[in-house]
Amino acid sequence: MRSSCFQEDFSFAATAEKSFFYKYPITINQCTTVFNKVKKTILRTKEQFMLKSMTGFGRAEQTVGDKTFLIDIKSLNGKQFELSLKLPGFLKPFEFDIRTILMGKLGRGSIDCIISLKESGNSKPVSINVELAKAYYAPVEKLSRELNLDASGILSTLLKLPEVITPTGETLTDDEWQKFKKVLLAAIDDLNIHRLEEGKSLEDDLLLRIGNIEKLQEEVAKLEPLRQQKIREGITRLLEEHVGKTNYDGNRLEQELIYYIEKIDISEEQVRLKNHCEYFKSLLAEVEESKGKKLSFVLQEIGREINTTGAKAYDSTIQKCVVMMKDELEKAKEQILNVL
C-alpha cells in the first residue's frame, strides 16, 4: 500500500511544475529549481519507506566551461562496499573525496564507477610522457615484426595510447569541483531510482514467499491433531497385534503416549515460525535504508523452525508441507541476496 502511493509522484510533480509556473510570475529556471527540490524530497521519502535493491545503473552528463563531465555508475550485489573507480589523472587529488561520497550514498554492493571528462574549447599546452612511450614501444614494435606489418606508423599509434599525452599542470578549480560533485550526486540519484524500482519488485516477491509459508503453516496446524491421533492409533494397533488387547497396561500406555507425543510436539516451532514471519514483514515496513542483512538473519531463523518441524513431524502430509515451505524459503533467500 505504502509503495503504490508513490507511483504517480514524479508525474504529479511535473504537472505541478507547469501549473506553478503559470500561476506565479517566476522564471522557468526558478520553477525548474522548485521542481527538482520536490523530486529530491519525493526520492528521499521513497528511500525511507521502500526496500532498495543493490543492483542498478546510473548516468549523468553535464558541460561545465570547456569540460564535459560524464559519469556512469553500475551496482551489483555484494556483502560489503567494493568500489572499482576509473577516473582521469587530474581527478586523482579528489579520489578519496569521490570514494567517500560513493560509500556514503550507496551503502554496500559491488560498485563500478567510470568518470570521464571530455575536453572542448580552446587548446591547452600538453606534455609527452617519454618514459611511458618507450615502455609502450618495445611490445608494439615486437608485435609489428611478428605480424610483418609496416612499422612507419608506430609513432602515431604510441601517441594515441593512454596517458602518453597529458595536459600540462591541469587540475580542477574549486568551482569546477563543486559543479563536478553535483554531477556525481545526480548519477547516484539516478542509480538509486533504479535501485528503488527493483526493490519494489523484490519486496513484492518476498511478501509473496512469506505469505505462502504462512498459508502452509496453517495447513500444518490443521493436520497436527490428526497426526497425534494417527500416532496413538498406530502404537495401540502394534501392541494389540504383538502383545494382545488384554496383555498390556492401558494406564501405562497412556503415560508413555503422553511422553512420546510431547517429545514430537511441534506447537512451539509453529508459534516461533509464525512470530518470525510477522517480524520479517514488520522489518520490511520499517523506516530504514539498509536492512538486507537483518532480513537474511530472520530467514535463517525461519529455516531453523521449518527444519525442526520436518524432523519431528513423522507424517507424510506434513512433510509435504515442510518441503513446499523450504522451497519458498530458498526462493526468498535468493532474492534477499540483492537487498541492500
Whether residue 64 contacts residue 180, with contact meaning beta carbons closer than 8 Å, is answered with: yes
3-state SS assignment for residue 121? coil
Report d(CA 54, CA 108) in Å as an integer.
7
Task: Give me the amino acid identity at 310.
Answer: G
Report d(CA 157, CA 188) in Å as an integer.
36
> Domains of the chain: which residue ranges?
1-49, 125-169, 200-336
**Pairing of the two strands 165-167 and 126-128:** antiparallel
Question: How is residue 53 written as a grid cell?
Answer: 535493491
Question: How is residue 12 written as a grid cell?
Answer: 504529479
pLDDT for 249 equals 65
Task: Quote the crossing angle between the two packed helices 267-285 and 292-313, to the nearest 10°.
Answer: 160
Instruction: Using the predicted structure, report yes or no on whether residue 34 has a pLDDT greater than 70.
Output: no
pLDDT for 2 equals 46
Instruction: Using the predicted structure, report yes or no on whether residue 327 has a pLDDT greater than 70.
Output: yes
The mean pLDDT value of the chain amounts to 79
pLDDT in tens, 228-246: 777 777 777 766 676 666 6
Of the candidates 265, 267, 243, 264, the residue with the CA atom closest to the CA atom of residue 253: 243
Confidence band, pLDDT 50/70/90 cuts, at residue 314:
confident
Question: How is residue 116 written as a grid cell?
Answer: 570521464
pLDDT for 39 equals 53
Whether residue 77 contacts residue 163, with contact meaning beta carbons closer than 8 Å, is answered with: no
Report d(CA 138, CA 222) in Å as an integer.
79
Q: Say whether pTM exceeds 0.85.
A: no
pLDDT in tens, 64-109: 767 788 999 999 988 889 999 998 877 888 899 999 999 999 888 8
Whether residue 166 contacts residue 89, with contact meaning beta carbons closer than 8 Å, is answered with: yes
In angstroms, how far is the first alpha carbon of the chain from the final one? Answer: 21
Task: List C-alpha distances in Å: 26 to 20, 29, 136, 166.
Answer: 9, 8, 58, 45
pLDDT for 306 equals 94
Question: How is residue 102 written as a grid cell?
Answer: 560513493
Question: How is residue 298 written as a grid cell?
Answer: 530472520
Q: φ, ψ for residue 147 (rounded to 5)?
A: -95, 5
Average pLDDT (47-69) is 81
Q: What string of DSSP letters covers 218-246?
A: HHHHHHHHHHHHHHHHHHHHHHHHHT-TT
